[in-house]
Amino acid sequence: MKVTVPYCIEAKKNEKKLTMLTAYDYPMARLLDEAGVDILLVGDSLGMVIQGKSDPLSVSVDEMVYHTRLVSRGTKRALVVGDMPFMSFQVSIQDAVVNAGRLIKEGRANAVKLEGGREISKQVKGIVNAGIPVMGHLGLTPQSLNQFGGFVVQAKSEFAIKNLIADAISLERDGAFAIVLEGMPEEAARRVTERINIPTIGIGAGKYVDGQVLVTYDMLGFSDWAPKFVKKYADFKSVIQGAVQQYIDEVQNTVFPTDEYTYQVKIDRREDPDVVEKTTEFKRTDIDDFDDLF
């Protein structure tokens, strides 16, 4: 059964935890979808994870559309959410609706995600009124890293938590169907979750939320370093490097390929006059002394 926006909202009512992971291409999307994850987020984190940049700020709408299209192509069950990159929605309602529309129409996403609270209320309403589902994102919002002074934990004071709750209530009233809560104390995330009727999905926000999300490459151990909140469920870096090193060794020592991986086909030594004539005619355009080759 396809995961939908109503499915996500019902999951909170039924106290069923939602699972979300990032995906940026067809092969990974297909693997994660077949494994049963509920939501695939095509995050602007691809700027760091895939493109090797230090932050996501320079990721473009065109790049998001391209990667979202790849993920959508590899997905049958999961809800696909496309991230709205930096400055794709902040300037105007029109920009927000047009760019969100591109992620849906060209990228084939099922919903879009925006960072921010009350300050983007009009944009959220505009996108929702255009018939596009919106997922919110509060707390440590990476697109605001320059304002925060880096990737710093948010909502560490009572005042900040109350602001966070107000932003979450605003997003719900504006029509968002879910909110990502990132990089905050567990108590802050719990209090937000208790105050709204739409699901919260935490990343570095503790367990008192309605679901969890991680960057897939982090949880699969593709790199040496990962944030504190990441549990590594596999060590793919060692697995991949080990396999590649074995391949290099076997090629250099003529161990690979063995007969098992070789086409052992009996060559037909008979000359078909028609085939020889056509082949000769073709090759004589490039080789003057074609007959001397035989």
Q: 118 exposed, middle or buried (CB, 10 Å; 0-12, 13-18, 19+)?
A: middle
Q: What is the DSSP code (8-state) at residue 16?
A: P
Q: 256 exposed, middle or buried (CB, 10 Å; 0-12, 13-18, 19+)?
A: middle
State the pairing for strand pair 178-182/39-42. Answer: unpaired
Measured CA to CA, the distance from residue 271 to residue 120 in angstroms comes to 75
Reply yes or no on whether 106 is catalytic. no
* DSSP calls for 26-60: HHHHHHHHHHT-SEEEE-TTHHHHTT--SSSTT--
Measured CA to CA, the distance from residue 19 to residue 267 in angstroms comes to 55
C-alpha dihedral, 202 to 203 to 207 to 208, nearest 10°: -30
* DSSP calls for 123-181: HHHHHHHTT--EEEEEES-GGGHHHHTSS-----SHHHHHHHHHHHHHHHHHT-SEEEE
Of 15, 34, 63, 182, the active-site residue reads 182
Is 205 in contact with 154 (CB distance < 8 Å)? no
How would you write 129-144 as a 3-class SS string? HCCCCEEEEEECCHHH
Catalytic residue set: 182
